[in-house]
C-alpha cells in the first residue's frame, strides 16, 4: 500500500472535525459495511461523522452493526468528504449533488475514475472493506469488534461467501484476523447469504419459473407484477442472479428487473475467468467487475431484454 497516500489521508483526518462518508446508490453489503466500518472507527477516535447513503440501508442488510445510524441525506456541516466502493461520483446519487470537493475515495472497482483528491483504489481487493481493513490501522484508527464485523460483512457479500474467482489467500487471512478482532463469521454469513424472507423466496420463485437459456446464457426477468404478487418490498433481484450463476450451463447469468415502464435494472454474472461481463455493462452505461456487473437501462422490459441478450451472446462466441 502506498505509504504516501495513507499519510495524506491520516493528515486530513487529523485536521477534520466533522466527516461525511457515503457510498453508491442501491447499496450492497460492501457499500454499507465500508461506510459503517470507517464511520464507527472515526467516531471511536472522537470525530463527528455523518454516514449517508442516498437509498438508506435495505431491511435485509440492517444486521450490519450501526446501520441505524445511516441517514439518506446529509446535514450542512462537514469539513471532509470520503466516498467508498464507488467507481465514479455518478454512482453516489444526490448525496454529492452540491459538493464540489471530495477529499478521499477508497475503492476496488477497476473502472474507478479517480474523482477525489486522494484516491486509494485496489482492483485486486475482493471488497472495499478489504482495502479499508488494511487502511484503518495505518491511519491511526482501531478495529473494534463492530468495525471488524462491518469489514468482514463486506468481504462476505462481495465474494458471495469467499467463492468468487478473485479470491486470494490474503483475503482469507484477513478474514481470520477480523474474526480474532471480534467479527462473528457464522452470524454474518447467515444474515448476508442464507436467510431469506418468505416474500423474497416467492419473488425468486417467480423469476426461476421464467428461466430461459441459449448458448451458455441463462436469463430471466422479474416484472413489477411479480414484485406485487410476492409482496416483495425491494427493487432488486433478491439475489436471484447469484443463484442462477450456479446453473451448470450458465457461462453467463443475466437478470432483468423491471423498475418502471421505461427502466430496467440488468445484472450480469459469470464464473468463467475468460469472460469479462463489465464490457457489455459499460456498453449499456453501467459498470462493475469482470465477474459481476450491472446497468440501469432505459427502455421497455421487452426491448432491453432483446438488446442485452443479443449483445451478451457476442461475449460467448
Cβ 94 to ligand AMP shortest distance, Å: 15
Assigned C-alpha cell, 73: 441525506
Assigned C-alpha cell, 291: 465477474
Which residue has the closest beta carbon to Mn ion? 30
User: For the chain, how long is the longest CA-to-CA vector?
Assistant: 57
Give the whole-angstrom CA distance, residue 20 versus residue 284.
31
278 phi, psi to nearest 5 deg: -65, -20
Enumerate residues 268-297 that contact ligand AMP by CB under 6 A. Answer: 286-289, 292-296
Cα 247–253–259 angle (5° rounding)?
Answer: 130
Binding at 112: pick from Mn ion, ligand AMP, none (beta carbon under 5-8 Å per type)? none
Burial class (CB in 10 A: 0-12, 13-18, 19+), 90: middle
Cβ 30 to Mn ion shortest distance, Å: 3
Contact pick of 31, 32, 160, 277 for Mn ion (by CB under 5 A): 31
In this structure, are residues 259 and 235 in contact, taking their beta carbons and an 8 Å threshold? yes
Cβ 277 to ligand AMP shortest distance, Å: 9
253 binds ligand AMP (CB under 6 A): no
Cβ 288 to ligand AMP shortest distance, Å: 3
Binding at 93: pick from ligand AMP, Mn ion, none (beta carbon under 5-8 Å per type)? none
Give the whole-angstrom CA distance, residue 26 versus residue 235.
9
Report the candidate in 116, 70, 69, 73 with the shortest Cα–Cα distance to residue 97: 73
Give the whole-angstrom CA distance, residue 147 versus residue 38.
7
107 binds Mn ion (CB under 5 A): no
Per-residue CA distances from 165 to 238, 252, 285 (Å): 22, 14, 24
28 binds Mn ion (CB under 5 A): yes
267 binds ligand AMP (CB under 6 A): yes
Cα 111–105–97 angle (5° rounding)?
Answer: 95
Closer Cβ to ligand AMP, 33 or 287, answer by number: 287
Q: Annotate each residue in 21-60 with x if it binds ligand AMP (CB under 6 A) or - if it does not, as one string.
A: ---x------------------------------------
Give the whole-angstrom CA distance, residue 88 versus residue 14.
26
Cβ 311 to ligand AMP shortest distance, Å: 16
92 binds ligand AMP (CB under 6 A): no
Cβ 110 to ligand AMP shortest distance, Å: 10
Binding at 166: pick from ligand AMP, Mn ion, none (beta carbon under 5-8 Å per type)? none
Give the whole-angstrom CA distance, residue 161 versus residue 158.
8
Binding at 31: pick from Mn ion, ligand AMP, none (beta carbon under 5-8 Å per type)? Mn ion
Binding at 58: pick from ligand AMP, Mn ion, none (beta carbon under 5-8 Å per type)? none
For Mn ion, the binding residues (CB under 5 A) are: 28, 30-31, 85, 127-128, 158
Amino acid at each position: 500500500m502506498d505509504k504516501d497516500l495513507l499519510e495524506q489521508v491520516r493528515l486530513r483526518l487529523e485536521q477534520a472535525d466533522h466527516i461525511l462518508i457515503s457510498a453508491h446508490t442501491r447499496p450492497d453489503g460492501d457499500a454499507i459495511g465500508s461506510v459503517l466500518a470507517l464511520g464507527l472507527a472515526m467516531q471511536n477516535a472522537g470525530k463527528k461523522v455523518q454516514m449517508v447513503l442516498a437509498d438508506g440501508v435495505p431491511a435485509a442488510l440492517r444486521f450490519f452493526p450501526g446501520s441505524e445510524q445511516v441517514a439518506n441525506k446529509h446535514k450542512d456541516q462537514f469539513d471532509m468528504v470520503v466516498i467508498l466502493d464507488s467507481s465514479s461520483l455518478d454512482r453516489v446519487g444526490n448525496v454529492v449533488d452540491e459538493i464540489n470537493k471530495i477529499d478521499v475515495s477508497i475503492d476496488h472497482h477497476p473502472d474507478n475514475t479517480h474523482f477525489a483528491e486522494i484516491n486509494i483504489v485496489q482492483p485486486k481487493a475482493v471488497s472495499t472493506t478489504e482495502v479499508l481493513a488494511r487502511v484503518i490501522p495505518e491511519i491511526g484508527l482501531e478495529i473494534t469488534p463492530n468495525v471488524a464485523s462491518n469489514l468482514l460483512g463486506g468481504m462476505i457479500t462481495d465474494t458471495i461467501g469467499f467463492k468468487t474467482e478473485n479470491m486470494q489467500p490474503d483475503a482469507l487471512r484477513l478474514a481470520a484476523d477480523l474474526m480474532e478482532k471480534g467479527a462473528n463469521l457464522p452470524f454474518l454469513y447467515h444474515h448476508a447469504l442464507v436467510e431469506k424472507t418468505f416474500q423474497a423466496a416467492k419473488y425468486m420463485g417467480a423469476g426461476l419459473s421464467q428461466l430461459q437459456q441459449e448458448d451458455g446464457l441463462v436469463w430471466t426477468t422479474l416484472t413489477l407484477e411479480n414484485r406485487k404478487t410476492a409482496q416483495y418490498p425491494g427493487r432488486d433481484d433478491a439475489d436471484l442472479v447469484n443463484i442462477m450463476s450456479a446453473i451448470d450451463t450458465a457461462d453467463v447469468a443475466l437478470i432483468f428487473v423491471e423498475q418502471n415502464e421505461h427502466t430496467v435494472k440488468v445484472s450480469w454474472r459469470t464464473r468463467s475467468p475468460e469472460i469479462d461481463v463489465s464490457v457489455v455493462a459499460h456498453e449499456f452505461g453501467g459498470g462493475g467487475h469482470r465477474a459481476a456487473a450491472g446497468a440501469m437501462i432505459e427502455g421497455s422490459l421487452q426491448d432491453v431484454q432483446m438488446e442485452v441478450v443479443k449483445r451478451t451472446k457476442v461475449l460467448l462466441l
